[in-house]
Amino acid sequence: MIVKRTNRQQILAKLNKKVTDRIPILIASAGSGLVANLLEKAGADCINTFSGARLRANGMGTMSMMWPILDSNKQTLDYTREDIMPAIQGDAFICACLNANDPLKDMVMVLNQCKEMGVMSVSNIGPSISYVDKDSEIYRVLTKSGITLDNEIEMLKLAKEMDMVSIGLAFTMEDSVRIIEEAQPDVFCFHAGTTKGGLKGYDSGETIEETAARTEEANQELRKLKSDVILIAHGAALETPTDAQFILNHTSCDGVWTGSSTERIPIEKAVYAAAKEFADLRFPEK
């Protein structure tokens, strides 16, 4: 099997054309080859691979990737190479979400491994220190031990130097501003929070109106810093296509990023419904 390759220039040309033509960009996460194949067929522009998506495919919540139960970069690289790349045609590009704070790996080596397998885009969400509340003790302990946003910014900068597409992500305005100012990513996603819905989602009680308002507040500040950045919405109350349409109607985002919304939640619903029908079958009465 030979998967069609792409490069930074081709990826950005495609994304910028969609922005110009006012067609929303769709970035979607995949934890398995089947999901990646279906996402590409459905028209996703970018398929994200990261340990959170892989763990979702195994029935765990996304945030389980925050615990030291695996080598997140090894898992991402392994399943991207073995499960995702062979499952796609190459119409969508792959973005590997990496742990830039990995103490066991040189990021030049990791980015070169990505390029060798045909992955020409990376993000800093695999996981990111921006997940952790800054007023918490664990945040202070982590940053004291060298797990910092600085490393994520340096990785995003390195990716561009290596002719890759960089997709920045952060949970707070402070971190978002730093990433835009210092890393100058090609694409940026303000992560509004863990997506609600399904068996493993987290519902903070926020409405889609509130998610849209917080996202747009970030957008307005970030476009002042980098006017040509492609901005993508993700998370919190953005669960369904209706929610995504609300975001597109009420923010200046260029598209949306789905994770659980096009992966975990539909799988939960479809598999349960089909299995329940089979389980409810009965022998005919004699």
Query: What's the number of domains the chain is made of?
Result: 1
Asked if residue 109 is part of any domain, the answer here is yes
> Is 225 part of any domain?
yes
Q: How many C-beta atoms lie closer than 10 Å to residue 127's C-beta?
A: 24
Tell me whether residue 105 is in a domain: yes
Helix/strand/coil (H/E/C) assignment for every residue in 64-80? HHHCCCCCHHHHHHHHH
Q: Is residue 160 part of a domain?
A: yes
Residue 55: the pLDDT is 75
Residue 159, in any domain of the structure: yes
The CA dihedral of 190, 192, 195, 201, to the nearest 10 degrees, is: 130
The structure tokens listed for 123 are: 């993000």
Domain holding 88, by residue range, is 8-279
Examine residue 2 and state whether it is found in any structural domain, yes or no.
no
Q: Give me the CATH number covering residue 250.
A: 3.20.20.70
Q: Does 285 reside within a domain? A: no
pLDDT at 59: 67
Segment (H or E) for 97: strand 93-97
How crowded is residue 144: how many other Cβ atoms within 10 Å of its Cβ? 9
pLDDT at 249: 98
- Whether 162 is covered by a domain: the verdict is yes
Q: Which two tokens stand for residue 141?
A: 């302990």
The pLDDT, as a whole number, for residue 65 is 66
Q: Is the pTM of this model over 0.75?
A: yes
pLDDT value, residue 163: 98
Strands 121-123 and 165-170 turn out to be: parallel
For every one of its 286 residues, what pLDDT tens digit does the chain have, with 9 covering 90 and above? 788 899 999 999 999 999 999 999 999 999 999 999 999 999 999 999 988 777 777 766 666 666 666 788 999 999 999 999 999 999 999 999 999 999 899 999 999 999 999 999 999 998 899 989 899 998 999 899 899 999 999 999 999 999 999 999 999 999 999 999 999 999 999 998 877 655 555 556 789 999 999 999 999 999 999 999 999 999 888 989 999 999 999 999 999 999 888 988 898 899 999 999 999 999 999 8
